[in-house]
Structure 1
Amino acid sequence: MYLYHFGLRQLPFTITPNTQFYCELNSHVEAVKVVLTALKTGEGFIKITGEVGTGKTLLCRRLLDEIPDYFRTAYVPDSYLNPEELRRAIAHELEVDTQAVDTEHQLARALQQRLLEINQSGQSVVLLIDEAQALPEDSLEAVRLLSNLETESRKLIHIVLIGQPELDQRLQQHRFRQLRQRISFSYQLTAMNAAETARYIGHRMNVGGYKGAPIFPAAVVTATYQASRGIPRLVNMLCHKMLLLAYGEGRHQITRKDLKLAAADTEDVSQQSGRPELWLWIGLFSTALVAVLLLLFYDQLPVHNWLSGLLP
C-alpha cells in the first residue's frame, strides 16, 4: 500500500469506525453535550439522528468513553433483532446469566432484577442502540416498555436511540406516538462545513503518522468538500483513492485530476466539483453561441438601423 511512500504508520482514511481517528467535529461535540445533559437531568429517552456516513457509529463509541462512570453502559450495534433477541443482547451486556432462562417472561424478570441490582449499587444503566431505524415494530415497543422500569425516584434505564433520518419518519406514525412522546431530548447530526473538512483531512493524516508538508492542496480540499458534501465517510473514500492514485504514479502531491478520477469511481458523490473544466466549456460555448446569434441578426437590430441612417 502507500504507507511507506507517504511516511504513514497506519491508513488514515479507512471507513471502519476507529476512535483513534476521532475528530472533534462541531456536530458531534453538540450531540455528546445533549446526551450528557439529558442523562444528568435523569431523562429516560434520547434520540440522535444523522444521514448515512455522518459518523453515528463512531459517535456511539465516543459516547461509551464519555459517559461518566456512575452510569453502567450497554451497547447494541445490531438492531435487526426481535424483542427476545434484543432483551438477550441487553442482558448479555449487563452480565445477566441467561442459561436458566427459558421464556421471554423469565428473561424480562431477570433483566429487571439486574437493573434493580445496578440501581442499588448507586448506578443507572444507559442503553445505546445503533441503527435504531431498523428495529422491528415489536422491538420498538419492547424498548418503550423497558423505559417504564423505574424506582420511585429515578429511571432504572436511560435509552439513547441513534439512527438514520428514517427513524424520525417511523416515529411519526400514529402507532408509535407513545414512544415518540417519551423522547425528551433530540439532536440531528449535520455534515461538515468546508473548514471542518480541511481540519478533518489534516487531523486524520496527522494521526496516521504523516509529518511532512501538506499533501492535499487547498484547492483540492475545497473540491473534496464539494464532492463529498462534507460527509465524513465520502471524504475518507475520496482521500484514500487519491492517495492510491498519487502513490501509483510516484507523486507526493494530490492533484485535481486525482479527485476527478476518485469521484468518478465513488458512488453518491457530486461529480460537478470533480469536473470543473466541463462547466468552463459550457460557459465558453454559451458565450460563443450568443456572439454568433448577434452576428446573424445584426442587420435586424434597431441600433444597426439607426446607425445606418446617420452614415452617408
Structure 2
Amino acid sequence: MSQPMFKPVLPDPAEKPPERVYLDYYRLAEAPFAITPDPDFLFSSNGHRQVLDAIGYAIDGYMGFVLLTGEVGTGKTTICRALLDRLNGKAETVYVINPSISGHELLANILADIGTPPEAGTGKKELIDRLSRHVLANHWQYPFVVIIDDAQTMPLETLEELRLLSNLETDKRKLIQVVLSGQPELLNMLADKRLRQLKQRIAINCHLSPLSAPETESYISRRLHVAGNQGQINFSRAAVRLIHKASGGIPRLINRVSDFSLTAGYVEDSPAIKPAHVKRALCELYDFNLQANGCGSRKLLYEWIVTTVLLVLISLAFLITPIGAGDTAKTKMIEVPPAHGPAILPLK
C-alpha cells in the first residue's frame, strides 16, 4: 500500500467552509472536494460497500458490537453518516461524536439523546436500568443502535463500562447494537487485557483501506458529477496518477489536492486539470521545493526576471534623480505592472 507524501492538515470543525473561487468558472453547483462528511458524496468503492453491508448485516442480526477502523481521512465518519441515513426509519439511533468522557456521562448522554435526560446525581445502575426499560419497551421490532465515532479517544474505563450494554439482551438477541468507529490505535486499546471481555464481544471487525489508483479516478469523477460537472472539467489521467501518489489513496487528502488543483486550473483559465496544476497545488498546500517538484515554469521565471529588472530600474531612477532641485525637478513615478498572478491562489 502506498503511503501519502504528506500529512493531512486538519481543519477546525467550527470553521466556515471557504468560498471556492472556481465555482462559477467551472459552472459547478457546489464545491466537489469539501472535506465535510457529506453522505451525498459517498463513493461506494468495493471496500466501502463491503463495510456498510457488513455493519448492516450485524445490526439486522442483533449481534451486538461492531468494530470499524481506518486511518485518518479514509472515510469512517462518512460511513457513519451513511449508516445513519440507511437506518433512518428502520432503527432508533444515537450518534456519539465526542466520546472522550466517562462511562457515567456516556450513559447520561445516550438517555438525553433519546429524550429521557436523567436528573443530576442519578447513579450508574439507575441509568442502565432506564436504558434497559426503554429498549425493552420499544425495540422488539427494530434495533436500537449506538454509533460512536472517534472511539480511540475514549478512556479505557469508558470502553470497559460500555461492555455493560452488551448485558442488555434476551435469550434470542442483543438489545443494543454498538458500532465503534476509530483509528487503528483503537485496536491497540482493545488488545489491553483489561478490555479482553469487550474484545470477545465484537461480532464483526471491519477495516477501511485507502483507495486504489483506479478507485481514485472514479472517486474524483463521482464527486465532480455530484457537484454538477457535465463534462466541462477533465482531470487528465496523469494528473489523477499524481494525486493518487501524493495522497496515498486517502480520500481526505485526495479532496485537498484536487480542490487546490481546480484553483490552479482556474488561475490558468484551463478546463483540463493537468499534472502541472497538481504540482502547483502541492506547492501551495505543503510548500514543496519549487525546482525539485516542478512547481516553477518558464513563464513564472520570465515574470520574475522582468519584475526584478523593473525594480532595479526604479531604484536607479531614484538614485539618479537630484534631491532638493526645487519645483523644476520632478520625480517620475513608475508603476510596475504586476505579474499575471501567483501559480495558484490560496483559498480563503
Letter in 2 for 1:57: T
- Pair 1:201-2:220 in alignment: yes
Corresponding residue of 2:32: 12
Moved more, 41-50 or 98-107: 98-107
- Pair 1:180-2:180 in alignment: no
- Pair 1:46-2:76 in alignment: no
Residues in 1 aligned to 2:202 and 2:125: alpha-carbon distance in whole angstroms: 26
Corresponding residue of 1:158: 177
Corresponding residue of 1:127: 146
Corresponding residue of 1:232: 251
Select the residue among 112, 122, 136 that pairs with 1:116.
136
Letter in 2 for 1:171: L
Corresponding residue of 1:298: none
Residues in 2 aligned to 1:117 and 1:100: alpha-carbon distance in whole angstroms: 24
Corresponding residue of 1:292: none
Contact kept? 1:94, 1:114, Cα under 8 Å:
no
1:79, distance to aligned residue in structure 2 (A): 1.5
- Tell me the SS of whatever aligns to 2:234: coil
- Tell me the SS of whatever aligns to 1:188: strand
Corresponding residue of 1:220: 239
The structure whose residues are more often helix, as a share, is 1
Residues in 1 aligned to 2:203 and 2:293: alpha-carbon distance in whole angstroms: 42
Contact kept? 1:256, 1:274, Cα under 8 Å:
no
Structure 1 residue runs without a partner (length 5+): 278-312
- Pair 1:142-2:161 in alignment: yes
Corresponding residue of 2:48: 28
1:107, distance to aligned residue in structure 2 (A): 2.4
Corresponding residue of 2:98: 78
Residues in 2 aligned to 1:113 and 1:36: alpha-carbon distance in whole angstroms: 25
Moved more, 243-252 or 95-104: 95-104
1:64, distance to aligned residue in structure 2 (A): 1.1
Letter in 2 for 1:190: S
Q: Deviations over 1:135-160 (max 9, x none)?
A: 11121012111111112322110111
- Tell me the SS of whatever aligns to 1:47: strand
Corresponding residue of 2:344: none
Residues in 2 aligned to 1:77 and 1:204: alpha-carbon distance in whole angstroms: 25
Identical positions, percent: 37
- Tell me the SS of whatever aligns to 1:52: coil
Residues in 2 aligned to 1:227 and 1:213: alpha-carbon distance in whole angstroms: 25
- Tell me the SS of whatever aligns to 2:272: coil
Contact kept? 1:194, 1:230, Cα under 8 Å:
yes
Moved more, 151-160 or 101-110: 101-110
Corresponding residue of 2:116: 96
Q: State TM-score, norm by structure 2.
A: 0.73
1:74, distance to aligned residue in structure 2 (A): 1.6
Contact kept? 2:151, 2:186, Cα under 8 Å:
yes
1:93, distance to aligned residue in structure 2 (A): 2.6
Select the residue among 190, 199, 220 that pairs with 1:171.
190
Q: State TM-score, norm by structure 1.
A: 0.81
Letter in 2 for 1:23: F
Contact kept? 2:27, 2:228, Cα under 8 Å:
yes
Q: Deviations over 1:180-230 (max 9, x none)?
A: 111121111111111111111011111111223442111101111111111
Residues in 2 aligned to 1:134 and 1:181: alpha-carbon distance in whole angstroms: 20
Structure 2 residue runs without a partner (length 5+): 1-20, 297-348
Corresponding residue of 2:16: none
- Tell me the SS of whatever aligns to 2:235: coil
1:125, distance to aligned residue in structure 2 (A): 0.8
1:104, distance to aligned residue in structure 2 (A): 3.2
Change in 2 beyond 3 A, CA 1:268/1:68: farther
Alignment of 1:282-297 (within 5 A): none
Residues in 2 aligned to 1:254 and 1:227: alpha-carbon distance in whole angstroms: 16
Letter in 1 for 2:160: E
Contact kept? 2:33, 2:259, Cα under 8 Å:
yes
Alignment of 1:230-269 (within 5 A): 230-266=249-285
Corresponding residue of 1:309: none
